[in-house]
Amino acid sequence: MRKGQYRFVAGFLLVPVALYLIFVIWPYIQTFGYSLTDWKGQSQTFDFVGLDNYKALFQDDVFLKAIWHNIQFLVFIPVITILLSIFFAFMVNVGGRSRAGGVSGVAGSSFYKIVYFFPQVLSLAILAVLFNAVYRSDGGGMLNGLLIKLGLVDPDSPVEWLNEPGIVRWALILVVVWHGVGFYLVLFSAAMQSIPRDVYEAALIDGAGRAQSFFRITLPLLWDTVQTAWVYLGIVAMDMFVLVSSMTASMGAYGGGPNHESDVMSTVMMRNFLYFGKSGYACAMGVIMLLLTLVLSVVTLRATRRERIEF
């Protein structure tokens, strides 16, 4: 690259890099700085306390419980969402191969794609309102009403889906999975359409079944897309603020009930920042969240790395 070209490229990069440093990197640096103080949020004065906030974090039972909840979401949300998305994408693209005309999706596959993708157009706030009605703890809720009609639940003691410690996190996981499956179905469908149909037809001629086609052809050729989806879903699992704070809001400031059984790191952080006025302490939580998310991304990319398959 000639000297003039360096100047040309640098001229285009200067403004975007400067904006990135100002609006992305600098806030991170400020947050780390505040995490070393006893800043109360409203006051412009604060004292340097060093690593005291970080020491207090690892003695905070609520925050440690929230980390464990995020880990549970981190395990179940990506696994369930990716498995369902790949299965549905496989069915709507190559699952109907027994029909005439070679390898094809099941009948009505275009319609199924629209139906599965529909939840993705709804915002998380709308989802929270919708599923609050589904999970109502009386006979008027969709789930309780159905179970009462089937005789599986006593009308006088319906299930309190969002107020039972053993159920509330699974209820939240169901919402995230229901919302995300459609998007990742479209993502995996796009990746599957790049796989030559000749590969599936050759496997069909050789007598391969659907399970063999999936595990020997589809999954290996989709691995890069699965890896990307896993990272994005992991980031979703590390957040969960909107759903937890909206769907369990009646159980305390920024949700988290019952008895902090649905708390995640983001809700604990916002509660300390805005409700308790412990802003420096909350900034330390934000730094820990950033570090955990970065570690998650690196570990996931390294753990799922494999030799690229060309076709």
CATH number of domain containing 230: 1.10.3720.10
Q: How many domains does the chain have?
A: 1
> Is residue 63 in some structural domain?
yes
> Is residue 43 in some structural domain?
no
pLDDT in tens, the chain (311 residues): 565 677 777 778 888 889 999 998 999 999 999 999 988 877 777 889 989 999 999 999 999 999 999 999 999 999 999 999 988 888 887 765 555 445 566 676 777 778 888 888 888 888 888 999 999 888 888 898 989 888 888 888 888 888 888 899 999 999 999 999 989 998 998 888 887 777 777 777 777 777 777 777 777 888 888 888 988 898 889 888 889 988 887 666 777 878 888 999 999 999 998 888 899 999 999 999 999 888 888 887 777 666 655 55
Structure confidence at residue 100 (pLDDT): 45
Residue 55: other Cβ atoms inside 10 A: 12
Instruction: Tally DSSP H helices, then E strands, for the chain.
Output: 15, 0
> Is residue 263 in some structural domain?
yes
Residue 67: other Cβ atoms inside 10 A: 21
> Is residue 191 in some structural domain?
yes
Structure confidence at residue 95 (pLDDT): 64
Structure confidence at residue 2 (pLDDT): 60
Domain coverage including residue 240: 52-303
Q: What is the pTM of this model?
A: 0.85
> Is residue 217 in some structural domain?
yes
> Is residue 22 in some structural domain?
no
> Is residue 247 in some structural domain?
yes
> Is residue 105 in some structural domain?
yes
Dist CA 6 CA 3 (whole Å): 5
Residues facing residue 48 across a β-bridge: 37
Tokens of 284: 């330390």
Question: Angle at Cα 280 formed by Cα 56 and Cα 288, nearest 5°?
Answer: 60
